[in-house]
Amino acid sequence: MSIESVLTSAVQEEKVPFVVGMTGNSNGVTSTHAAGNATASMKVDADTVFRVFSMTKAVGGLAAAILVDRGELSLDTPVGDLMDNWNDLKVLEGFDGDTPTLRAPKTRATLRHLATHTSGLEYEFWNTDVPRYMELTGHPTILSGLKSSLHYPLTSDPGTRWGYGPSSDWLGQMVEAADGRRIDVFCQEEIFGPLGMTSTAFEPEGLQERLADVHIRGEDGKFAPMELAPPSLPEVYGMGHALYSTPNDYMRFLRMILNGGQLDGNRILSASGLETMLADQMNGLTFQTMVSCSPITADVVLPDDTSHSMIAALHNSDVPGKRSAGTQSWAGVCNTHYWVDPSKDLAAVIMTQSLPFVEPAFMETYDAFERAVYAAH
């Protein structure tokens, strides 16, 4: 099937409420296809604004990589050296009745651990001990935007295993502490401005007329609108979830990677800085299947040898008919997904606004889209 027919049929078959698929290379955008309506009165297109949620994490990783490139931070900088409140976090070992059992961590967390999700932090969607802890202690979710929400318990010692959680939010705070600018200002001045990402922002002001609706699949199998967005004007802009962006803008971010750290003459990272950012930084650990404990997401399963760079999951093997070894990819909870395949000089995004995350119907569409992209490449 062609890319266009994959996307059109996905909407017709209600696998997605609407969808944009875009591909690009180091020279520019190579294809754009869209199907369906982003709102009742607006067709979706490459300039539609999406809540990209965890696609924010790659931007946070780039922000940290910029400071590492400049020698202002190191991958081995201890988190607690810059932020003393990190040193208050304890490892949650279990519960004594309704009392959480906590102990001091055996290892010190570093910037590398935050960037690769090996810091010990996990979201309440992926570890059943965390929502229980939050309920018993009244701890706010990271999606509250409160500064106190950063202080999730650790669920393992830093550097010992993969665990998906608010590490990127702490990473953004490390950038703030080292640089002095607030993270939203840093990103605008160092990333969005230089890359021409004019529709990427931490607040939706000025973007609302292009903002897509979010849909959730009900028990009847049909999509229905729902309200979901990052917190507005939070105490802390979380680099795990805070951004709004468009397919056009995010492709510019990915094309910067394909162009060796620069785009249209604006250099974001040195060549060696880009190499560091894209390298496996997990120190021998690998991605672990993310088993859902929330109805908003299915399980996240990736190949056994998947590791992580400073910005994304790193695929270490070729997938026949699909991505190559060295490909970086990740996604946002409302099913906005990207990958960038440097060896093939190829980047792609496929975006909708739907829940559950990675439900089978969406993943069938993603697989068909990716196969059509490589068949046409």
Which tens digit of pLDDT belongs to each residue from 166-224? Answer: 999 999 999 999 999 999 999 999 999 999 999 999 999 999 999 999 999 999 999 99
pLDDT at 94: 96
What is the share, in percent, of the chain residues with pLDDT greater than 70?
100
Average pLDDT rounded to a whole number, residues 326-343: 98
> How many other CB atoms are there within 10 angstroms of residue 218's CB atom?
10
CB 23 within 8 A of CB 31: yes
Ramachandran class of 211: left when φ > 0, alpha when ψ lies in -120 to 50, beta otherwise:
beta
Read off the pTM. 0.97
Chain segment 280-328, per-residue pLDDT in tens? 999 999 999 999 999 999 999 999 999 999 999 999 999 999 999 999 9
Mode of pairing for the β-strands spanning 214-217 and 354-355: parallel
Q: Write out the catalytic residue numbers.
A: 54, 57, 164
Q: Which residues pair with 28 in a beta bridge?
A: 25
Phi, psi of 348 (to 5 degrees): -150, 150
Average pLDDT rounded to a whole number, residues 69-86: 97
pLDDT at 129: 97
Q: For residue 148, what pLDDT band results from cuts at 50, 70 and 90?
A: very high
Average pLDDT rounded to a whole number, residues 148-177: 98
Average pLDDT rounded to a whole number, residues 243-255: 98
Chain segment 26-51, per-residue pLDDT in tens? 999 999 999 999 999 999 999 999 99
Domains (ranges, CATH) in the chain? Answer: 3-55+205-376 (3.40.710.10)
Single-letter code of the amino acid located at 271:
A
The secondary structure of residue 271, as a DSSP letter, is: H
Supply the mean pLDDT for the chain.
97
> How many other CB atoms are there within 10 angstroms of residue 96's CB atom?
8
CB 347 within 8 A of CB 254: yes
CB 263 within 8 A of CB 84: no
Q: For residue 264, what pLDDT band results from cuts at 50, 70 and 90?
A: very high
